[in-house]
Structure 1
Amino acid sequence: MLMKLKTGVMLLDDMLKGGLGTGATTLIASKPFTEATPLAYQIAYRWLDAGYPVVYLTNNKRPDIIMEDVKRYGWDLTRFKEEGVLVFVDAYTGFMGIKSEERYAVLNPYNLEEIDGALLKAVNDTGKKSLIIVDSLSTMLDHFGEIIIEKFEEWRRIAILNDSHILYIFIEWDFEEGIKRKLKDRVDNIISLSPIEKGVILSDFFTIEKVGGKPIKPISIPFRYVRPGGMRVYIPKILITGPYHAGKTTVVHALST
């Protein structure tokens, strides 16, 4: 049965028509220097707090670093990890040549079959209605190339069979446009995060490019991350000062259009 869970950002949930549904996939695509992981943390906490498990595949940082980072935003995941409803697939520690403390550890992070096997086992052991986070898709593309795109349909079947949701984190570095297009074609929802300069203001914005497999007209919404609290819709305030008849009203009109 299709279930939708909230992201914790009301406007984002409205744009996603109620939140993230099971049996589906979402791509969080962010421009360099605009963080995507805090939003993933926020969604993970909401999922766990609602009583559903999270499987977090990491290939760019240790699980303990993630736990510390999440806590900075005000969410303590320790209890969920101790209860076994938050599990990590550690595909990073092996790069350092040391043993991981995680149950689902990848000894050779350059072996895609081993990563795939560890992820599948973790999902099967954890149960249905899981949130599966892949952090990060960019690192996978760096290591394995376009074969990762071919994996999308296989992972999508996992989401459908397990009544789960897959959340991909993708930093848009210097990948070819063709690769980006293929990635976006193979997911149900797309959340884009990017810095946009409007007049003299530089802010981070999120847009929804795709919902339920259908492209939609994107609307840019300004946001910022707060600690604690996570993503917040943010409308910056500007103070315009100057002498009488200096053109303050003209500046305000120009910035608002």
Structure 2
Amino acid sequence: MTDVVRLEVEAGIGTIRLARPPMNALDIEVQEGIRAAAQEADARRDVAAVIVYGGEKVFAAGADVKQMSTMSYTEMIDRSRALQSAFTAVAEIGKPTVAAVTGYALGGGCELALCCDFRVAGDNAKLGQPEILLGIIPGAGGTQRLSRLVGPAKAKDLIFSGRFVDAAEALSIGLVDEVVGADDVYAAARRRVERYVGGPAYALKAAKEAVDRGLETDLTTGLEIERMLFAGLFATEDREIGMTSFVNDGPGKAQFQGR
């Protein structure tokens, strides 16, 4: 991690906090900080869920265009690979994740939010993929994750036009899952993930993997992925604790041990 990206842990919740004022531009240092913070959050046993947060005023307003404008094709091949890798580290956190979006989440900022399982937006949020206005396309997952989330037609509308959507429209098309007052975004994100603290960590990880990997393949393969993950949980403490508690005490009483 770096000074511009921090992992803060409190009460079982890890917050990956971007701190590159004024707009949290996703330059190389921020990208590497995101990768390191995501990998640490995934590995830490005291982190049950993760929030990605840009602060009270802005989530992330995209890549550093000035930095990008002087890069050659050859340089961008390596740069885009590194950027996708950093964002994939967020997507592959084996725990519930939520993006807490205030202000602008544009370009790479929107793509970063798409890497999370859920998105909570302030009523002042503006989201979009405006890369087309620079003569390029999204390069950190926008063409892929956005279309999987909102459908290909709506994704093409946003990507082809480069237009921004406000929080209300983002909610209506499924780009975000909840809209709250701008001052309540981080608190709302915490409320969304607090339910997972002390939960069945192995089962949550398996559930996330089954859904995410299943979306990338055909139904038959997806069912096989689900079957193997389901069976694998019978070798974990989660299954033993959960089923023993259900038999002895009824549903909803299990006290899981975490990872």
| TM-score of the two chains, using structure 2 as the length reference | 0.27
Hey, which of these two has a bigger chunk of strand by percent? 1
